[in-house]
Amino acid sequence: MGLFESLFRTSSSNKSAALAKERLQIIVAHERGSRRGSPDYLPALKKELLEVVRKYVPVDQSQIKVHLDREGGYEILELNITLPDEEQRYGRD
Amino acid sequence: MATVIVVTSGKGGVGKTTTSASFATGLAQRGFRTAVIDFDVGLRNLDLIMGCERRVVYDFVNVINGEANLNQALIRDKRVENLYILPASQTRDKEALTKEGVEKVLNELKQSFEYVVCDSPAGIERGALMALYFADEALVVTNPEVSSVRDSDRILGILASRSRRAEQGDPPVKEHLVLSRYAPERADRGDMLSVEDVLEILGIPLLGVIPESQTVLQSSNAGVPVIMEDGSEAGAAYGDLVDRFLGKTLPHRFITTQKKGFLKRLFSGS
């Protein structure tokens, strides 16, 4: 790079790669999220799990949370069911 | 068993065909029986880059449709032993590529070749999906530019979800990044994404960096894969890339700014 170029280069004009990287990181993370975050079968899985659990314990839709995570080569299916208090349960005995 | 490698990118004009031609030529030069297939049905160009456009008689679609057998359609390269080209059809559209048809041709090629290189068309339509469906490994060609990097990421998503390996639950397609049209001085100046930037975003191993070079256009003008211009930077970079693919550990060349000449050093004060 010549003297002329180094003299007249402004600091704002040479940051475009950093801007590109930042924009890419955001859009790529967003697109990966929508692509991989929630597979098609999750809603159906959630509904069926809820039906099974309801056979034994009264829980409603909002008390079951299904979450799929990807870490390295693993997929982690996280299932979280909040059971109601003791007195609200079906009396089985 | 033969290895099927797709050269893909999503975006057009990033150097898929240039890479396919040089990669296949490099494998053949190193003694491996290699076939390279043009999946860009309707817009064939691999034949031109390989310099065999006047020898095309039958094409990929003819073989799929049983109008010619594979040996009639394969063009033997005149310069490099062990190298064969299966050109795309110019008159059909990409719907002619059926999964069964492509599988049949690939299986037949796998009998007599060690490497089958699939040159994918741009986009994520049928031609591109068929080119990557049967792949064991993928060369993802990317330019250091926002739209190319984003499209490469989409292609990586498709490789991970819609390839045969993904559908059958086999080990995933092995991914390799080929960063082409790289200009180290522009990356140093901060107006081009650097090798590290692209690696950080895409997160796949780097197979090679091909520097922006006038030789690429000159060799495509002449119909000679640029890897055969081994005196050129781009040619040497492709040579390294092939060696790395075959297991050699080589440092990446042409990714830092070259030594400055006397005058430039004088004026930049370093």
Summarised one tens digit per residue, pLDDT across range B156-189 is 999 999 999 999 999 999 999 999 999 999 999 9
> Would strands B75-76 and B206-211 be described as parallel, antiparallel, or unpaired?
unpaired
pLDDT, tens only, B45-57: 999 999 999 999 9
Q: What is the mean pLDDT of residues B101-126?
A: 96
Q: B2 CB contacts (<8 Å, ≥6 apart)?
A: B109, B110, B111, B113, B114, B115, B116
Interface check for B170 against chain A (CB to CB < 8 A): the answer is no
pLDDT at residue number A79: 81
Give the Cα separation of B20 and B41 in Å (integer). Answer: 16
Give me the mean pLDDT over the B188-211 stretch.
Answer: 96
Are B268 and A6 in contact (CB < 8 Å)?
yes
pTM recorded for the entire structure: 0.79
Euclidean distance between CA atoms B24 and B147, whole angstroms? 27
Spell out which residues of chain B touch residue A6, defining contact as CB-CB under 8 Å.
268
pLDDT per residue rounded down to tens, chain A (93 residues): 555 555 555 444 558 999 999 999 999 988 887 665 556 677 777 778 888 888 888 887 777 777 777 666 677 788 888 888 765 555 555
The interface predicted TM-score of the complex, written ipTM, equals 0.83
For testing contact with chain B, the best of A1, A6, A41 (most B CBs within 10 A): A1
> From CA B128, how far away is CA B120, in angstroms rounded?
5
pLDDT at B265: 59
- Answer yes or no: are the C-beta atoms of A46 and A66 closer than 8 Å: yes
Q: CA B202 to CA B195: how far, in whole Å? A: 11
The mean per-residue pLDDT over the stretch B76-98 comes to: 91
Nearest to B264 among A2, A14, A25 (CB): A2
Of B154, B197, B267, the CB nearest to A2: B267
Tokens 């079906």, located at residue: A90
pLDDT digits (tens, 9 = 90+) for B73-82: 999 999 999 9
| Chain A contact residues (CB < 8 Å to B) | 1-3, 6, 9, 13-18, 20-21, 23-25, 27-28, 31-32, 35-36
Do residue A24 and residue B190 have CB atoms under 8 angstroms apart? Answer: no
